[in-house]
Amino acid sequence: MADVTQTTDGRATPKPRFIGSEIYRNSSYGAWHPLRVPRVSTVMDLSRAMGWLPPAQFVTSPRAKVAALTGYHTPQYLAALQAAETAQSVSADIRDRHALGTVSNPVFKEMYRRPATSAGASLLAGELLKRGGVIYSPAGGTHHGMPDRANGFCYLNDPVLAIQSLRRNGAQKIAYIDIDAHHPDGVEHAFAGDADTLQISVHEENRWPRTGALTDVGVGQVFNLPVPAGLNDDEMALISERVILPLVAGFRPDAIVLQCGADAVTEDPQSRLTLSNNAHWAIVAALLPIAPRYLVLGGGGYNPWSVGRLWTGVWATLNGFEIPDRLPPAAQTVLGALEWNGPSRRHFPQDHWITDLRDTPRGGTRRDEVRGRVDALAARRQAWV
């Protein structure tokens, strides 16, 4: 069958599925906002140009119903979010109470429908993974959203909703791993007291929201690793080998949710980390065989070329596709058509952002300050296990 693959023991398993929507193609937070750039539509177009996204593997995301969103968000907040989209304005009281209409969380045309669509994808993913498999939803990963307010560009918290959906559909122990440059404060808020949800976050220290200290442990299943500026591929490999993979394997989860934010690479304007996209792909691949259910979400990513290339490579990794040394003309056309304009300047791509999917690896010294923090978490892992 075209829509299944064979496991090593001969069992048929569904091919990975990609959940997407056309709502993201022309939707923007505004001409000045970091999320003015196209992202999900680029991944869809680039994956199709590579011949990697046949119709059988693509699922159109539903829009979550309000009742489904109340698993985490308050009815009052959801009503305010819908009303703000309809009116295209908010009162001072609503802005103060729910953080809508702020610089970070502006009023824009699809400010309810767009996040409700990515939330719908995460809710659907939990249902589709009931019997196992792999789901990719690059529109997901909005990990800052709080129950009663928008936060950090995130109006809803689809990772929380995904974990809840997985649990409703049979997953008892869930590992959540977050490699975005920013700490997932909304997810930690939801599950810090839940011993059946393992949380691991690798994020830049002294970066907004300035939460997720090394010493923040919840009830023992929260592992935060703030890293210094300049984190390189070799340091991320060390973190993966000594912290992420042993923790997840020891937890023995029924499901893994990976938030694969693309803002930790060198080219991204919202962090000072210096990873290549190879570092993300290596973690995506390493987690793949550990649990029967695997959901990979997007997250941050504000350079349209680097995020489009990284997230398309995630889809290739999940499917086992070989990434070519040079992109075919159709794929180069997709990347060549992108623009990155801001209020005061226009950004121009480097040549390899158009011709190549894979970055040159960005290795380097494994610094003592990174080793020390890894050692601290590794020691805590030994005690925890």
Give the phi and the psi of residue 294 in degrees, each rounded to 5. Answer: -140, 120
Other CB atoms within a 10 A radius of the CB of residue 323 amount to 17
Q: How far apart are CA 231 and CA 363, in angstroms?
A: 9
277-287 helix and 304-319 helix, angle to the nearest 10 degrees: 30
292 upstream amide cis, omega within 30 of 0: no
| Residues labelled as active-site residues | 144
| Residue pair 200/244 in contact by the 8 Å Cβ criterion | yes
Q: How far apart are CA 73 and CA 383, in angstroms?
A: 35
Structure-block tokens of residue 33:
């906002």
Q: How far apart are CA 370 and CA 197, in angstroms?
A: 25
| Pairing of β 346-347 and β 340-341 | antiparallel
Q: How far apart are CA 74 and CA 79, in angstroms?
A: 9
Other CB atoms within a 10 A radius of the CB of residue 328 amount to 11
| Residue pair 306/268 in contact by the 8 Å Cβ criterion | yes
DSSP state of 250: H
Where b means 16+ CB within 10 Å and e means fewer, 223-259 reads: bbbbbeebbbbbbbbebbebbbbbbbeebebbbbbbb
